[in-house]
Structure 1
Amino acid sequence: MMAGDRTRERGELEGEVMQILWATDEPISARDIQDRFSGHTPAYTTLMTALDRLERKGQVQRQAESPRKVRFIPTHSAGEHAGERMLTALNNTGEREAALLQFAGNLDDADIDLLMTAFNQSTRKHKRR
């Protein structure tokens, strides 16, 4: 591989970092994140750049006990992140109804039951106000 060649697609490293953070119950260091990569392990500086970008995007929070003891945690769970992405995609489409119908048409029975339960709970909360 030549200098400047990509080993990952754009955004893939950040996604892998987030998967590692979501799988961890406590704040972890960049070195610990680096050790948990399967396959190609990014250079430490590359990983720190990705963590800086994720922090600027509000997806990661940095916790520093000292300059040498920095740990990272996700600001949202994987489910919350997926929900935000779904809402963003829905809000950015000019065809909201078509997007919702396409999405709903691909849900299995368990997903539909879960959504129906959530809708019923939401409806009860709105009626109480």
Structure 2
Amino acid sequence: MPRFGELEAAIMEVMWSADKAITVRDVRDRLGREPAPAYNTVLTVTEILYRKGWLAREKHGRAFRYWPAGSRDDYTAQLVAEALDSAQDRAAALVRFMEKMEPGEMAEIRRALDDAKAADRRPR
């Protein structure tokens, strides 16, 4: 999965920050860019994000309202998974990655691993 392009990333930031489904016009108004991209450009990129599965939509009058189909964390996890897929040695790449973490981040990883281990032991 390639990283989002500049406008895709900006649109997704708007979507992730919105508290409800929004229209393309709302997205364009919230982009905070000067000069603002053309409406048709924002519409096209929003439709591309929809076709890629990053946005969901519903008809609202003559327009659509869009909302994120995945979270920022989902996106980041996919990027990390893709990066690990490109490594010859996934374990070595993970070790290198963790060596660059702050101690607090490492503690969070340990807690998450402990939680996952405990969840695996629970009867299903």
Report the TM-score, using the length of structure 2 for normalisation. Answer: 0.87
**How far does residue 71 in structure 1 lie from its aligned partner after superposition?**
0.7
Matches within 5 A, 1:1-129: 11-40=5-34, 41-66=36-61, 68-129=62-123
What root-mean-square deviation, in Å, do the aligned CA atoms of Structure 1 and Structure 2 show? 1.6
Measure the CA separation in 1 of the matches of 2:104 and 2:114.
15
Higher relative contact order (Cα pairs below 8 Å, separated by 6+ residues): 2
| 1:52 maps to amino acid | E
Report the TM-score, using the length of structure 1 for normalisation. Answer: 0.84
Deviations 1:30-88 (A, max 9, x none): 1111011122321111111101111111101111133x231110111111221122112
SS at match of 1:71: strand
Percentage of identical aligned residues:
29
> How many equivalent residue pairs?
119
Give the ranges of 4+ consecutive aligned residues of structure 1 lying more than 3 Å apart after TM superposition. Answer: none
Gap regions ≥5 residues in structure 2: none
Gap regions ≥5 residues in structure 1: 1-9
